[in-house]
Structure 1
Amino acid sequence: MEALPTELVVLAWSVVLLFVHIMLQGAGATRDNGLDYNASARDEERPVSKLTGRLNRAKNNFLETYPAFVALALALAVSGRTGGWAATGAVVWIVARIVYLPLYAAGVPVIRSLAYVVSVVGLALMFVGLLF
């Protein structure tokens, strides 16, 4: 069996990271407001702890750039332009996104923002690998 390109391996692991975001935020919301509320339609908003709020914002931030990563990874694979800068960019993106989550949860301000910027650099490397 032929090995998958790095970009597709990272894409597969990014799905795991997506579910880590969802599960952590959901667990926090359940802890804060109970299983009955969290399993309901949640028509009325209830307050959550600082940690759960941070986990929710970290998840939302992940979801803001995730479509760009998925599009770039798939475009690279379909076009056969995987490897090199593109593969490096994919790895940079996921490592930065993994680092970002605990930094945001802990409320670390500047380093968290740097991790975000590094993840965007990873996307830029993928873009360069695709077009140049």
Structure 2
Amino acid sequence: MGGEVAVELKLLGVAAILGLVQLLWSAAAARRQQNLKWAAGPRDTPMPITGVAARLHRAFWNFAETFPFFAAGVLGCAAAGRLGGDLTVWGAGLYVAGRALYAPLYASGVPLARTLVWFVSMIGLVMLLVALVR
């Protein structure tokens, strides 16, 4: 019944875990600036965050913007029987590696390296999508 799971599907799972870790990391950093009473309430009055907490929040939402495209690419390639090629394996690997490095770099305030790592993840995403439509 069980065959080997394609590396791209495993990387999809790793990316989902990365997203969850980033969400929790961002929330924990924000709670250090926002009191728990405010966080547990209706949040009608905004309570802005700054510094590392704000950078982690932006990094998470940057992940959230790209992850659906990655998931669609991996699942589309799986449905089309296109997993296992160089474009899909390397593309998924570059995306996940880039996303894993992006949040810590952003939290640290490293501007150029963060942008280059983001670009690497986008190259991986494009490779995956090219494999789907070619």
2:128 corresponds, among 121, 126, 129, to 126
Assess if the C-alpha contact under 8 Å between 1:21 and 1:55 holds in 2.
yes
Query: What does 1:1-132 correspond to in 2, within 5 Å?
Result: 1-84=2-85, 85-132=87-134
TM-score normalized by the length of structure 1: 0.95
Letter in 2 for 1:46: M
Unaligned runs of 5+ in 1: none
**Match for 1:15: what amino acid?**
A
Question: What SS class does the counterpart of residue 131 from structure 2 fall into?
Answer: helix
3-state secondary structure, aligned to 1:56:
helix
C-alpha distance in 2 between matches for 1:103 and 1:88: 22
Q: Is 1:58–1:104's contact at 8 Å kept on the other side of the alignment?
A: yes
Q: Number of residue pairs matched?
A: 132
**Residues 6-65 of structure 1, C-alpha deviations (whole Å, 9 max, x = no match):** 111111111111111110111011111122212222121113230110000001111111
One-letter amino acid matched to 2:28: A
Select between 4-13 and 100-109 the one with higher mean Cα deviation. Answer: 4-13
2:33 counterpart letter in structure 1 = D
CA contact (8 A) 1:92 1:122 kept: yes
Amino acid in structure 2 at the alignment position of 1:50: G
- Aligned residue for 2:43, secondary structure, equals coil
Distance 1:47 1:86 in 2: 40
Amino acid at match of 2:108: A
Instruction: Give the AA of the match of 1:126.
Output: L
Runs of 4+ in 1 over 4 A off after TM superposition: none
Q: 1:29, 1:38 within 8 Å by CA — same for their partners in 2? A: no
**CA distance in 2 between partners of 1:49 and 1:107 (Å):** 12
TM-score, normalised via structure 2 length = 0.94
- Rounded to whole Å, the distance in 2 between the matches of 1:20 and 1:38 is 19
Could you tell me the percent identity over the aligned residues?
37
Structure 1 vs Structure 2 CA RMSD: 1.0
| Separation of aligned partners in 2, 1:41 and 1:16 | 28
